Amino acid sequence: LKILSKTYKQSGGNPMDFGLISKKKNNPTTIKIGNISIGPEELTVIAGPCSVENNSQIDETAYFLSQLGVKVLRGGAYKPRTSPYDFQGLGEDGLKYLKEAKDKFEMYSVTEVMDTRDVEKVAFYADILQVGSRNMQNFALLKEVGKSKRPVLLKRGFASTLNEWLYAAEYIASEGNLNIILCERGIRTYESYTRNTLDIAGAVAAKLNTCLPVIVDPSHGTGRKELVEPMALASIASGCNGVMIEIHPKPDTALCDGHQSLNFAEFEKVYRRIKDMYNFSASNI
């Protein structure tokens, strides 16, 4: 069925019937950004606060991470909060502080874009565009980031199946952007002890079915700081390509997600273990 220049199928997509991101049809994707590579050759560790709160908070965090050797800094400037009365992020000022910090310490950045109208602006300031869990099936946004030249980190919707998640990635790819990082961040189940149920099997299944790098976010995936380390290690042991972890100079004072954020000393310990696990599992493959 041809409409203008696009070819469509006559019925809805069949399960796992995606082409551009399928494992069978493509070699594993390596995303090169400056001097880092996200994919099979390198372990990717992304860390930073849930939100950019001010200049010194993100500067201090970037300094700490760069000293450790972490290359990718995260921090939200546009925050998808459940309540409109919660901190919504600093907007463009947050993007500026994040860029200043990552440039100063020679890092790369990832930050969320929530609105199609902001894609160009966010792409101007950041190295990787994050599509958040709540927007995983915002098809207009998927198409817009698909037109961007920036790599996209696509989080799994908290109520999405594997198939829906991978088709969301196919949307981005179908607009010409094949630099997609999949990020498992937990799904909603009947369990309420954890904020979400981290689906490591789903992350591995995403790796088995696509050519894309897959990382895991154990911070949102559990909502509990004491579970961040074991879930990060499990993700790396399972062959995922990396992790994204929330940290904060003073988690108790964080404007967003302090309860799941590690302080610097806690993160340093986790980071060393993640690297050991990566070296151990890589040498065992």
Contact positions toward Mn ion, by CB under 5 A? Answer: 50, 257
Of 150 and 185, nearer to ligand PEP (C-beta) is: 185
The Cα 75–Cα 57 span in angstroms is 10
Of 20 and 62, nearer to ligand PEP (C-beta) is: 62
Shortest Cβ contact with ligand PEP: which residue? Answer: 132
The Cα 53–Cα 51 span in angstroms is 6
Secondary structure tally for the chain: helices H, strands E: 9, 12
The Cα 204–Cα 172 span in angstroms is 21
Least separation in angstroms between CB 132 and ligand PEP = 3
Least separation in angstroms between CB 217 and ligand PEP = 6
CA distances in angstroms from 117 to 114, 142, 144, 178, 236, listed in the order given: 9, 12, 9, 21, 36
140 burial via Cβ count (<10 Å: 0-12, 13-18, 19+)? exposed
Least separation in angstroms between CB 219 and Mn ion = 7
* Among ligand PEP, Mn ion, none, partner that 133 touches (CB below 5 to 8 angstroms by kind): ligand PEP
Of 46 and 178, nearer to Mn ion (C-beta) is: 46
CB 79 within 8 Å of CB 89: yes
* Among Mn ion, ligand PEP, none, partner that 229 touches (CB below 5 to 8 angstroms by kind): none
Of 189 and 279, nearer to ligand PEP (C-beta) is: 189
Q: Which residues bind ligand PEP (CB under 6 A)?
A: 50, 76, 80, 112, 132-134, 155, 185, 220
**Number of other residues whose CB lies within 10 A of the CB of residue 150:** 20
Of 174 and 219, nearer to ligand PEP (C-beta) is: 219
* Among Mn ion, ligand PEP, none, partner that 273 touches (CB below 5 to 8 angstroms by kind): none
Which H or E run contains 181?
Answer: strand 180-184
* Among Mn ion, ligand PEP, none, partner that 80 touches (CB below 5 to 8 angstroms by kind): ligand PEP
Least separation in angstroms between CB 74 and ligand PEP = 7
Of 20 and 181, nearer to ligand PEP (C-beta) is: 181
**CA neighbor of 110 nearest in space, from 118, 99, 119:** 99
Least separation in angstroms between CB 91 and ligand PEP = 15
State phi, psi for 63 to the nearest 5 degrees.
-60, -50
Shortest Cβ contact with Mn ion: which residue? Answer: 50
The Cα 113–Cα 130 span in angstroms is 6
Least separation in angstroms between CB 221 and ligand PEP = 8
* Among ligand PEP, Mn ion, none, partner that 155 touches (CB below 5 to 8 angstroms by kind): ligand PEP
CB 79 within 8 Å of CB 88: yes
